[in-house]
Amino acid sequence: MTTFAQVTDALAGRLEAVVGRAHVVTGGPDLEPYARDETEDLRYPPEIAVRPKTAEEVAAVLALTWEADVPVTPRGGGTGLSGGALPGFGGVVLSLDRMDALLEIDEPNLACVVQPGVITKVVHDAVEERGLYYPPDPASYAACTIGGNIAENAGGPHCVKYGLTRDYVLALQASTPNGMLFRTGGKLRKDVAGYDLAQLLVGSEGTLAVVTEATLKLVPLPAHRRLLVAPFEDLDAAARGILAVLQARILPATLEVLGRSALEAAAEHLGRAVPFAASEAAVLLETDGNDARALDDEVERIGGILLEADALDVVLADTPAKERELWEVRRCLGEAVKKKGLHVECDAAVPPASVPALFAAAAEVAREHGVEEISYGHAGDGNVHVNLIATGFDREEGMRRLHAAADVVFRRAVALGGTITGEHGVGCAKRPWLPLCRDEVALEMMRAVKRALDPKGLLNPGKVL
């Protein structure tokens, strides 16, 4: 097993000299939040947490920990679902929460410059006031940070049309594990000068470098949006409706599917009725554009396509209040699942046409292992969040059943041409299953990159590989 040096009083004192004594957490209840993220109920306490304010302070902290052979776990908003911010080997948690400045909104170049600790929704709101749009919107966008989104290559409901975080990262400033700052990229749409280091860091889960600043691409904010919900009597019918919309050369901004268990969980969590909770599946579809009349025509066309595909109904959210209610149903599901008890989330992704097969496999696997399942996700891009829940068991037996069921779900997803994670990352929680979807040659290439950039293995150890 890998072993690292521990944090000494001398190192703690040197870290305090860099960031200030008030920004070094050394024990007690203040350190407890850094032992957890939103992954199941895992807990890995660090020895110390450090909260730098500037890129130079980040680099200085990393230089000190490198010299001392102490592991460092970068941390954003702590909303991750794969254990990516958990300090499994103790050491130092490098919290970037104080680096929360939105430094610039550059309207002529359709870009903004932010520090990694900025909350994603803050970016959304600030640029939308200027008539601009930053599309990536994970379910936790009101709490997660841009740095965390970059680490995980986060997605969200709107990525079916607009793409993932990687599609909006133009440039990064970052620090190497031994404390050297570097920049890559710029406010450019074309730049093929050498290796694309910015894209290497996107999705690397904080294992290769620590991002200290990001330049993000923006797009014009669509002037109008329309949100529809359509219930179906089964998932196959819902899939036919989804494919019929796409085959009609219509690309919605959002194309979500919720199974009946998800609708019931949302109703229970919200304490109110939700639309079509008795249906076996519901499709949530949003379309956007700048021509209101053309958008209304498209909505009417989409409604006809869904009805022809045997939708039981098609309802337009015709007021902002109704839109908020529908989005609340979708965005509350993560919290709704947690309230159920012991759980494991399988953030699998398959080719879009295989989404019904993955839903069916999840239900079958849950029955075979005596656990519950709540499934929902991004039907337009094939990313399904299969949540497995164990009730009525002690922790040991419940987790045994959940991990056994998760193993089968991941294997079924890969057999369908899919992957073990669509947007939450590998972290430590999904690390055992990475070989299911990456061959040994690819894994060794990943190890080689890690060795080249972090030869001591100090940066976020135990994650991905």
Reply yes or no on whether the pLDDT at 41 is more than 90: no
Residue 415 has, within 13 A of its CA and on its CB side, a CA count of 9
pLDDT at 390 over 70: yes
For residue 2, pLDDT over 90 is answered with no
C-alpha distance from residue 461 to each of 68, 86, 117, 269, 450 (Å): 15, 10, 21, 36, 10
3-state DSSP assignment of residue 29 = helix
Is the torsion defined by CA of 57, 63, 67, 69 positive or negative? positive
Tokens 């190192």 -> residue: 11
How many Å apart are CA 409 and CA 74, to the nearest integer?
30
Q: What is the structure's pLDDT at 341?
A: 86
> For all residues of the chain together, what is the average pLDDT?
95
Write the DSSP string, 37-99.
-SSTT-----SEEE---SHHHHHHHHHHHHHHT--EEEESSS--SSSTT--TT-SEEEE-TT-
HSE-up of residue 223 (Cα within 13 Å, Cβ side): 7
Pair 114, 101: CB distance under 8 Å: yes
Q: What percent of the chain has pLDDT over 90?
A: 93
Q: From the CB of residue 325, how many other CB atoms can be counted at a distance below 10 Å?
A: 15
> Once rounded to an integer, what is the mean pLDDT over residues 257-285?
93
Mean pLDDT of 268-297: 94
**3-state SS, residue 223:** coil
What domains are defined for the chain?
9-98 (3.30.43.10), 102-220 (3.30.465.10), 224-333 (3.30.70.2190), 340-423 (3.30.70.2740)
Q: Which amino acid is at 341?
A: G
Written as one letter, the residue type at 230 is A
Q: What is the pLDDT of residue 425?
A: 96
As a whole number of Å, the CA-based R_g of the chain is 22
pTM for the full predicted model: 0.95
Burial environment of residue 383 by CB neighbours within 10 A (0 to 12, 13 to 18, 19 or more): buried
Tokens linked to 39: 């992954």
The token duo for 387 is 């949540």
| Coil vs helix vs strand at 349 | strand
- Longest CA–CA span in the chain (Å) reads 71
Q: Both ends of the chain: CA-CA distance in Å?
A: 14
Instruction: Reply yes or no on whether the pLDDT at 1 is more than 70.
Output: no
DSSP per residue, 294-323: HHHHHHHHHHHHHHHTT-S--EE--SHHHH
DSSP, residue by residue, 403-421: HHHHHHHHHHHHHTT-BS-
Average pLDDT, stretch 109-136?
98
Sign of the Cα pseudo-torsion (7, 8, 12, 17, in order): negative
d(CA 448, CA 103): 35
Q: Are 78 and 36 in contact (CB under 8 A)?
A: yes
Q: Where are the beta strands (DSSP E) in 140-207?
A: 169-175, 181-185
